[in-house]
């Protein structure tokens, strides 16, 4: 990442980035929970899951 002139990004941009990262983290946590739940349901089936944590 290229630093902004003056040595740092504007405060508003940093706030926006933090909010986006928090939203992304929440989405990934939900996706992980969904995948774990799906893997648990298919664990006993004939076709094993090839995903590994």
Q: Is the pTM of this model over 0.85?
A: no
pLDDT for res 53: 56
Tens digit of each residue's pLDDT (9 = 90 or more) over 10-50: 789 999 999 999 999 999 999 999 999 998 888 766 555 56
Give residue 42's pLDDT: 84
Distances in Å between the alpha carbon of 5 and those of 13, 18, 33, 47?
A: 14, 20, 41, 55
pLDDT of residue 5: 58
């Amino acid at each position: 990442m290229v630093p902004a002139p003056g040595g740092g990004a504007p405060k508003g941009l940093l706030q926006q980035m933090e909010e986006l990262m928090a939203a992304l983290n929440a989405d990934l946590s939900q996706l992980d929970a969904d995948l774990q739940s799906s893997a648990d349901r298919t664990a006993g089936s004939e076709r094993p899951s090839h995903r590994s944590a």
